């Protein structure tokens, strides 16, 4: 699924999922090899590969729901 990563008004990393019209704050980030795992406030875990450090925000990326 496509997601948009961006910073919210308070400077926290947020994820917007257009198909679900869902916007949630990222509460935890971990690495699994080349992938980053984002845990959202609603409990979803999303895996995104190929992100660079530091992340360029906002950006639209392909994610896989775990």
pLDDT in tens, 15-44: 999 999 999 999 999 998 889 999 999 999
Question: Rounded to whole angstroms, what are the CA distances from 24 to 8, 13, 33, 41, 46?
Answer: 10, 9, 24, 6, 12
C-beta of residue 66 within 8 angstroms of C-beta of residue 37: yes
Reported as a pLDDT band with limits 50, 70 and 90, residue 54 is confident
Q: What is the pLDDT of residue 1?
A: 94
Domains in the chain, CATH or no CATH each: 2-65 (2.40.50.240)
Phi, psi of 33 (to 5 degrees): 70, -120
Tell me which residue of 13, 4, 21, 20 sits closest to 41, measured CA to CA: 13
């Amino acid at each position: 699924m496509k997601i948009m990563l961006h910073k919210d008004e308070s400077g926290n990393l947020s994820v917007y999922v257009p198909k679900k019209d869902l916007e949630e704050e990222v509460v935890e980030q971990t690495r699994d090899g080349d992938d980053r795992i984002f845990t959202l406030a609603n409990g979803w875990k999303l895996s995104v590969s190929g992100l660079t450090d530091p992340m360029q925000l906002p950006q639209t990326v392909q994610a896989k729901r775990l």
